[in-house]
């Protein structure tokens, strides 16, 4: 069984709550990631995702250079315990309609898992034999 801990990323990226949406989008693009945790006074207070940027900022015509991530972030962060199965994470994402979950150990945020992480982890376990050419 693939667990959340097997598939998650322990190194997650964060930005201050005063970061503009434009700056956050630039960071996501440069880092090739789909989300950033939002930090205020040393605490993680939310998560901003590509979907948040598109639906809550771009689609509304907001000025991305003036709007800050704390205005569009998702909070509270939806999270799952690291010991749960990858299938549990997938089910939870489907039920909640999200693509990213915080990962906790004993209630403390320790990482992030995305739909892409789940796909990679499950593909590694059930990969098919390589097709060769005669």
* Residues 28-54 pLDDT 10s: 999 999 999 999 999 999 999 999 999
User: Could you tell me the CA-to-CA distances from 6 to 28, 56, 111 in Å, in that order?
Assistant: 23, 32, 11
Write down the residue that tokens 């990969």 correspond to: 127
Q: What domains can be seen in the chain, in order of their start residue?
A: 4-125 (3.10.580.10)
pTM across the whole model: 0.85
CB-side exposure of 83: number of CA atoms within 13 Å? Answer: 3
Q: What Rg do the C-alpha atoms of the chain give, in angstroms?
A: 16
Q: Each residue of 4-16: pLDDT tens digit? A: 999 998 888 999 9
The pair of structure tokens assigned to 61 is: 């015509």
């Amino acid at each position: 069984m693939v667990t959340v801990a097997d598939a998650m990323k322990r190194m997650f990226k964060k930005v201050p709550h005063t970061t503009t949406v434009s700056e956050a989008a630039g960071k996501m693009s440069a880092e090739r990631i789909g989300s950033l945790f939002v930090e205020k006074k040393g605490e993680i207070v939310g998560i901003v995702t590509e979907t948040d940027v598109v639906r809550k900022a771009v689609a509304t015509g907001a000025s991305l250079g003036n709007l800050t991530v704390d205005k569009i972030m998702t909070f509270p962060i939806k999270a799952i315990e690291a010991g749960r199965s990858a299938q549990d994470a997938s089910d939870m994402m489907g039920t909640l309609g999200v693509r990213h979950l915080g990962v906790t150990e004993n209630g403390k945020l320790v990482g992030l898992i995305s739909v892409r992480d789940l796909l990679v982890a499950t593909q590694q376990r059930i990969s098919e034999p390589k097709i060769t050419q005669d």
